[in-house]
Amino acid sequence: MALDELYQEYKSLLFSIAYRMLGTVSDAEDIIQDVFLHAGEVDLAKIVNKKAYLCKMVTNACLDYLKSARKKREVYIGPWLPEPLLVQENDPYVEVVKGELVSFAALLLFEKLTPIERAVFILREVLEYEYVAISEIVGRTETTCRKIFSRVKKKLPELEEEEIKAKSDRNEEIIGSFLSAVFEGNVKQLENLLSDDITLYADGGGNVFAAIKPIHTRTFVIRFIKSLTKQLDTSGANTAKVQIANVNGETGVVAVGVDNVQNVISFRVLNNRIQEIFVVRNPEKLKHI
């Protein structure tokens, strides 16, 4: 099979691994490009299982990247959030967001794992690889991979909750009501939509206005949302457009200015209440949209 055919067949699969491992769209795409450049330098005809070979290359590249990325995130200004993944129906990555554990909440839970734990869990839980294949990809024994997977399941039981939550069919209605309440200034409706222990995370990366620490309680979350809304130019020729969008496979909100995306907001909804709000404002994380 020619290299370009391999790229077309496996790029979505490889992206699903890299994006979940890294939480950044741009870095995931860069790694895939580098892997295929390297693949072009080897004799692919001698490689029996090309899919496993490419998965191993991408996984190892992600593991190497995370060693340096963790140090950068330790000095990151304010909360670190993933780069949002927005897709249309004809996007080649549409199957990625239709899968499991690609929400902001899930990706942030992955941040609590070591790189090797993350790799084993994604390959087993999300992509449903057999342990023999996982062991070949990550360079560990099957027994070790089983132990790692079991450890992650015990370490992060919330991941089970994320899968159940993702199947909710009322999210679009709830987020639509949230958006209406924000622009109508209906504080009472906002309070009814937010859970008692609501938390808002705002990622500005030190480049734009954002909260340096997570915001708790309805009062402070609503106050922050109001201040965010006031920054949008919603009148005149330079009107900002705020609309519902598919963000990481779930109902989210995108605010678009004249020539750039200003905010991408994702939500974690549980029991028909908004439990967490994730606001990505860092321009560096919105350039790819």
Segment 28-58, tens digit of pLDDT: 999 999 999 988 887 777 888 888 889 999 9
pLDDT at 166: 55
Domain 79-112+156-289: give its CATH architecture: Roll (3.10)
3-state secondary structure of 108: helix
Calpha distance 91→80 (Å, rounded) = 26
User: What pLDDT is attached to residue 161?
Assistant: 66
What's the N-to-C CA distance of the chain in angstroms? 32
Torsion of CA 76, 82, 266, 126, to 10 degrees: -150
pTM for the predicted model, two decimal places: 0.88
Cα–Cα distance between 200 and 75 in angstroms, integer? 20
**Ranges for all domains in the chain classified under CATH 3.10.450.50:** 79-112+156-289
- Residue in the structure block whose two tokens are 């009814």: 192
Q: Please name the residues in contact with 45: beta carbons below 8 A apart, sequence gap of 6 or more.
A: none
What is the CATH topology of the domain spanning 3-78+115-154?
A: Butyryl-CoA Dehydrogenase, subunit A; domain 3 (1.20.140)
Query: Count of CB atoms within 10 A of residue 247's CB?
Result: 25
Among 66, 65, 42, 68, which residue's Cα sits nearest to residue 54?
42
Give residue 49's pLDDT: 86
Provide CATH 1.20.140 ranges for the chain. 3-78+115-154
Instruction: Give every residue of the chain whose pLDDT is below 50, as ranges.
Output: none
